[in-house]
Amino acid sequence: MLAFVIRRLAQAFFVVVAMVVLVFFGTYVIGDPVWMMVPGDATQEQVEEVRRTFGFDQPVYMQFLTFLGDVLRGEFGRSYVHGSSAIGLILDRMPATLELALAALVLAIVIGLPLGLFAGLKPDHPASRGIMAVSILGFSLPTFWVGLMLIMLFSVMLGWLPATGRGPTMVILGIETSLFSLEGWRHLFLPALNLALLKISLVIRLTRSGAREASLQDYVKFARAKGLSPRRIIGVHILKNIMIPIVTVLGLEFGSLVAFSVVTETIFAWPGMGKLLLEAIQRLDRPLIVGYVMVVVLLFVTINLIVDILYSALDPRVRLTGSQS
């Protein structure tokens, strides 16, 4: 187990290094950030001045080495635009994004699991066909369009929920969160639902096919032959088996929730990392972009590790060993 974790961390380290190198040179190729930083009427003199200050006059490999040196000293660079630590800026915004992604994940399970279970256990019921049709819509409608429709319906027409921004936050255990007030939830619901849409469809499909397959297994027939109630058979025998793929897939999808939140955060003006990234890209704010990538890759790796551990906890046939890759 320990060997497994160490191996995973080593892998993660190389992934982070590779991603950082790629993104660093990638943003270098895209454009010269100087033009974003100087006023439109700046003289050549002023431009060169800024170049020197930020080290853009150096060849790219020198810039990279300087960057590496900074990293080794625990300094990940300052945002060109904000002037403060890039990682600091990202970490400030991270709770908002994680909160959004987590809420979306919970919605995906709370809505997707019962619907999928129903569709899987009663495949011929008309409601099951309806559920599957909705899940196809969920897969095919573009997120931003659904987001706009949600705002139109619930905020503009019905006026039930606020359209933008995050509700009042408070600091709980050092993390800023809006989960502990009704107003916070009112702000969170629409963006979370919007972000969850794709995952709800995914959970419905996974649960349905899992339940269908499991209900045909001999162990279900044997459980029935023991005289168990349908509730116990579905709630324990079937659910415990289908939770394995669902937890695995959803865990891995959590990373993509964080990544996809860029779109949702933009539509709902949610003050998270995604919105920050979009602004950083528009302004070629390289330290911020590189920092974002590092944070997200680390997040992915951590999630994968947790999923692997959870997976082995759920499926007794899998035991994590050092030799497993």
Partner 1 sequence: MAEPVLAVDNLATHFFTRDGVVKSVDGVSFTVAPGEVLGLVGESGSGKSVTGFSIMGLIDPPGRIVSGSIRLKGEELVGRTEAEMRAVRGRSLAMIFQDPMMTLNPVLRIDTQMMEAVQAHEKVSDKAARDRAVQALAQVGIPSPEERLSAYPHQFSGGMRQRVAIAIALIHRPALIIADEPTTALDVTIQSQILAEVQKLCAESGTALVWITHDLAVVAGLADRVAVMYAGRIVEQGLVDHVLDRPLHPYTHGLIGSVPGEAMPGKRLMQIPGSTPSLGRLPPGCAFEPRCSRAVETCRAGAPPLAQGSQGRAYRCINPVPAEEAA
- Report the alpha-carbon distance of residue 316 to residue 93 in Å, rounded: 38
Least separation in angstroms between residue 229's CB and partner 1 is 7
Residue 12 in contact with partner 1, rule: CB under 8 A: no
Q: Supply the DSSP string of 155-174, one letter for each residue.
A: IIIS--S--SS----EEETT
Least separation in angstroms between residue 303's CB and partner 1 is 23
**Looking at 87-185, which runs of residues are DSSP E strands?**
170-172, 175-177
70 C-beta neighbours (distance < 10 Å), count: 14
The count of residues interacting with partner 1 (CB under 8 A) is: 22
Candidates 42, 244, 249, 305; binder of partner 1 (CB under 8 A) is 244
Pattern of binders to partner 1 over 194-233, x per CB under 8 A? -----------------------xxx-xxxxxxxxx--x-
Residue with Cβ nearer partner 1 (52 or 319): 319
| Six-digit token string for 75 | 């300094």
Residue 241 in contact with partner 1, rule: CB under 8 A: yes
Name the one range near partner 1 by CB under 8 A: 12-20, 23-31, 125-133, 236-244: 236-244
Which residues within the stretch 297-316 sit at the binding site for partner 1 (CB under 8 A)? 314-316
Residue with Cβ nearer partner 1 (74 or 227): 227
Residue 247 in contact with partner 1, rule: CB under 8 A: no
Residue 39 in contact with partner 1, rule: CB under 8 A: no
Least separation in angstroms between residue 215's CB and partner 1 is 9
Residue 237 in contact with partner 1, rule: CB under 8 A: yes
Q: How far is CA 252 from CA 11, 111, 136, 302, in A?
A: 17, 19, 21, 10
Name the one range near partner 1 by CB under 8 A: 17-25, 150-158, 204-212, 235-243: 235-243
**Which residues have C-beta within 8 Å of that of residue 99, sequence separation ≥ 6?**
177, 178, 179, 188
Residue with Cβ nearer partner 1 (200 or 223): 223
Q: How far is CA 128 from CA 75, 121, 216, 237, in A?
A: 55, 9, 18, 22
- Amino acid present at 209: S
Contact 108, 250 (CB under 8 A): yes
Contact 101, 192 (CB under 8 A): no
Contacts to partner 1 by CB under 8 A: 217-219, 221-229, 232, 236-237, 240-241, 244, 314-317
